[in-house]
Amino acid sequence: MKIEAINPSDGRLVQVYAEMTPEVVSARIDATHAAWLAWRTTPFTERAALMRAAAALLRKRAPAYAVLMAREMGKPVQAGVAEILKCAAVCEYYAERAEGMLAPESVATDAARSLVMFQPLGVILAVMPWNFPFWQVFRFAAPTLMAGNAAVLKHASNVPGCGLAIGSVFRDAGFPEHLFQSLLIGGAQVDAVIAHPRVAAATLTGSTEAGRAVARQAGAHLKKTVLELGGSDPYLILEDADLEAAADTCATSRLINSGQSCIAAKRFIVVDHIRAAFEPLFVESMRRRRMGDPLQPDTVVGPLARRDLRDDLQRQVQQSIDLGARVLLGCEVPKGAGAYYPPSVLTDVRPGMPACDEELFGPVAAIIPVPDEVAAIRMANASRFGLGAAVFTRDVARGEQLAAEQLEAGSCFVNAFVKSDPRLPFGGIKDSGYGRELGAYGIKEFVNIKTIYVA
């Protein structure tokens, strides 16, 4: 079997890799477990020094890794550099704070002494997607390794070079051999990896369907999972919103990673009173973002990662149009070899249309009109997803109240687009998954929370 990296800008083959056999995979996992047996007792100071070295390598190699991402999945190089720098930041964040986050906690009981300790579980499997091929991995790997675990990575099959490059960062930074390994395998081998007796737990970032598959297999073997899945984030534009600022922020969010982000804005729920004023501002903000060659520094929107993904997006768009949605911008597949799709805006989107009910994984915005704020909240929550949400209003206190108490999502933002931050927990509810990454909560997902009681 072969794993092929294909440049989505022109459809040309980048490189071919041989898929690892099940026997090789099992041996690699055994080697990772052996490395963990020593790593789990390594002092935090030594772990932190190595993690800072990894951060330094990431900063040094950022331009080269940005080009690698552009070639394998189409990310514009300016966004690629920013992604690598964010990876360096998360490494530094946990290098600085992991020991404090995992310090034993004394608890007053009727014992002479009782405390809670946080100890590593072992080898953790990460099944990661192509859309942020470095960030998705490092936001898992930095806290996981700092907690004393080891890791094996099954990366998306269209970004094998990124997976190998991540392994080289840890190796070149001086981490123990085999502590972090990238497995060149297809999806058919994931079940066997989860079932491997040396694998203690698994995490997946990807589609809801992939999450269900991993959860089923992990559940059969009583292994913990953390799942960060799809999203159809609602952005509520209320009557008193600053419309120019909202339009610009919404366009930025919708076009992050060429629209291929679980937490990109997707459903723009606009109250009728300001809809006529908001729509042209939003369309113009979408229109001015340049689409083109991801290797050019001024490109904002590159190609989608694969042609089949573009075909799926166009199908969803056309079905929505057939059901009554109107096109305000784009929505046509450009000619040429690349998997490009232009910034696009649909309006008059309603329940029953794919643009309302499904996740559109590309640069297409869906404007959903509603009569008032109450209807906007109801529409926002009427989704099987619950990853992120945002509300735009000049009444900041009111916006905070809506975000805190009424919007159903793992992350809710006021007058800003949803994004991940190493300092804050990140994850979703409903079909967007469970568990948390990042922050103090994320590092405790893959540890044994152990009670010690001394009479």
Sheet of strand 180-182, all strands in order from the earlier edge strand to the far edge: 180-182, 150-154, 123-127, 199-205, 224-228, 433-434
Residue in 228, 279, 373, 445 annotated catalytic: 228
Tokens 């972090």, located at residue: 180
What is the residue-wise DSSP string for 393-441? Answer: -S-HHHHHHHHHHT--SSEEEESS-----TTS-B--EETTEES-BSHHH
**pLDDT band at residue 112 under the 50/70/90 scheme:** very high
In the chain, the amino acid numbered 338 is G
410 has pLDDT over 90: yes
Split at pLDDT 50, 70, 90, the class of 151 is very high
Judge if 402 and 437 occupy the same domain.
Answer: no
Q: Are residues 239 and 326 in the same domain?
A: yes
Element (H, E) at 54: helix 44-73
Given a cut of 90, whether residue 374 has pLDDT beyond it is: yes
Q: What is the pLDDT of residue 125?
A: 99
- Kindly state whether residues 174 and 242 are assigned to the same domain: no
Q: What is the pLDDT of residue 1?
A: 80
Q: What is the pLDDT of residues 428-439, one digit of tens each?
A: 999 999 999 999
pLDDT band, residue 245 (cuts 50/70/90)? very high
Same domain assignment for residues 170 and 242: no
Q: Please, are residues 265 and 416 in contact by the beta-carbon 8 Å criterion?
A: no
Q: pLDDT at position 96, please?
A: 98
* Together in a domain, 266 and 382: yes
Report yes or no on 427 lying in a domain. Answer: no
Q: Is the pLDDT of residue 415 over 90?
A: yes
CATH number at residue 48: 3.40.605.10
Q: Which CA distances in Å does 73 have to 14, 59, 321?
A: 11, 21, 28
Does residue 219 sit in the same domain as residue 246?
no
Distance CA 336, CA 292 (A): 12
Please provide the distance, in angstroms rounded to a whole number, between the alpha carbons at the two ends of the chain: 59
The catalytically annotated residue of 87, 162, 262, 356 is: 262
* CB-CB contact of 265 with 253 (8 Å): yes
Q: How much of the chain exceeds pLDDT 90, in percent?
A: 99
How many other β-carbons are positioned within 10 Å of the β-carbon of residue 1? 12
Residue 262: active-site member: yes
Mean pLDDT of 293-307: 97
Residue 395 covered by a domain: yes
**Catalytic residue at 228?**
yes
CATH number of 255's domain: 3.40.309.10
Radius of gyration of the chain (CA): 22
Ranges assigned E (strand) in 178-318: 180-182, 199-205, 224-228, 233-237, 265-271
300/203 same-domain check:
no
Q: What residues have CB less than 8 Å from 355, skipping those under 6 apart?
A: 316, 317, 320, 325, 346, 349, 364, 366
Mean pLDDT of 245-271: 97
Residues 222-231 pLDDT 10s: 999 999 999 9
pLDDT of residue 294: 98
Per residue in 33-69, pLDDT (tens digit) is 999 999 999 999 999 999 999 999 999 999 999 999 9
How many distinct structural domains can be found in the chain? 2
pLDDT recorded at residue 330: 97
**Range 291-295 average pLDDT:** 97
Answer yes or no: is 17 within a domain.
yes
What residues make up the domain containing 151?
2-229+432-454
Q: Are residues 438 and 309 in the same domain?
A: no
pLDDT for the residue numbered 152: 98
287 and 349: one domain? Answer: yes
Q: Is residue 381 part of a domain?
A: yes
Q: What average pLDDT is seen over the chain? A: 98
